[in-house]
Structure 1
């Protein structure tokens, strides 16, 4: 299983929703708080986006909460985390 990284802030409701979804599936993740300008700059550089959350499965940019929720509704989170599960 690849590492899940999520850039967040403590006040973001979409960040909390993304964490709830991942926690409900038992998926561990590394949370990176973007309060500092250098960390936010790193997030923007990696994702091309300025909003949080920004979620990565390994080096693959999933996107924000809406993207994660759509991936879940399509049944794709497990396969995206473990490519061996995909055909």
Structure 2
């Protein structure tokens, strides 16, 4: 759902497959302190999962973040 939402808004993303990359899994868990997927980052900012991303969107805070206007 996260990828479909970002695609519908014309945003690109980099997907990191933690199911096939144990090093990436450990790095994600260390940065996000969560084990569920997806964990969404905008640059170095941890957004959270899909529900967190949508809450930011509804609050009008996701688009500025995606535009590089800070956290």
Hey, which of these two has a bigger chunk of strand by percent?
Answer: 1
Match of 2:10 among 4, 17, 26: 26
**What is the number of equivalent residue pairs in this alignment?**
68
TM-score (norm 2): 0.87
Unaligned runs of 5+ in 1: 1-16
Unaligned runs of 5+ in 2: none
What does the per-residue CA deviation read over 1:17-75, in whole Å, with 9 as the maximum and x for residues that have no partner?
Answer: 10011011111000001113222111101111111000011100000001001111112
TM-score (norm 1): 0.72
Three-state SS of the structure 2 residue aligned to 1:78 is helix
Match of 1:50 among 11, 35, 43: 35
Q: Hey, what does 1:65 align to over in structure 2? A: 50
Of 75-84 and 31-40, the range deviating more from structure 2: 75-84
Deviation beyond 2 Å, 4+ runs, structure 1:
none
Greater RCO structure (CA 8 Å; 6+ sep): 1
